[in-house]
Amino acid sequence: MPSKRARERADADADADDAAGDDIDDIDDADDDDLDAPYIVAASSSAPESKKNTALDAAALERARKDFARRGVVYLGNLPPFMKPMKLRQLLNAYGATDRMYLTPEDAKIRAKRKKFGGNTGKKFVEGWVEFRDKKHAKRCAEMLHGREVGGKRRSAHYYDLWNIRYLPKFKWDNLTEEMEYQKALREKKLALELSVAKKERDFYLAKMDQAKAIAAMTERRAKRRADDGAVDGETDKEALARYHREKEAEEKSERKKILRTFKQKAVTNPELVDPTKKLATMDLLKSIFTSAN
Q: For 202-222, what is each residue's pLDDT tens digit?
A: 999 999 999 988 987 887 776
The mean pLDDT value for 217-234 works out to: 68
CA distance 114 to 132: 34
Q: For 13-70, what is each residue's pLDDT tens digit?
A: 555 444 444 443 443 444 444 333 322 223 333 444 444 555 557 888 888 888 888 8
Q: Is the dihedral of CA 218, 222, 223, 225 positive or negative?
A: positive
pLDDT at 237: 61
What integer best gives the mean pLDDT of the chain? 75
Architecture of domain 71-171: 2-Layer Sandwich (3.30)
Q: For 115-161, what is each residue's pLDDT tens digit?
A: 888 888 888 898 899 999 999 999 999 999 998 888 888 888 888 88
CA distance 215 to 210: 9
Residue type at position 88: L
Give the gyration radius of the chain's Cα atoms: 44
pLDDT at 281: 64
- Give how far the C-alpha of residue 8 lies from the chain's centroid of Cα atoms, to the nearest Å: 69
pLDDT at 27: 36
All CATH 3.30.70.330 domain ranges of the chain, comma separated, are 71-171
The mean pLDDT value for 273-282 works out to: 65
**Which is it for strands 125-132 and 98-105: parallel, antiparallel or unpaired?**
antiparallel
Give how far Cα 163 sits from Cα of 93, 132, 136, 153, Å. 15, 17, 19, 16
Instruction: Mark residue 279 as left, alpha or beta (left: phi above 0; alpha: psi -120 to 50; beta: remaining).
Output: left
| pLDDT of 239 above 60 | yes
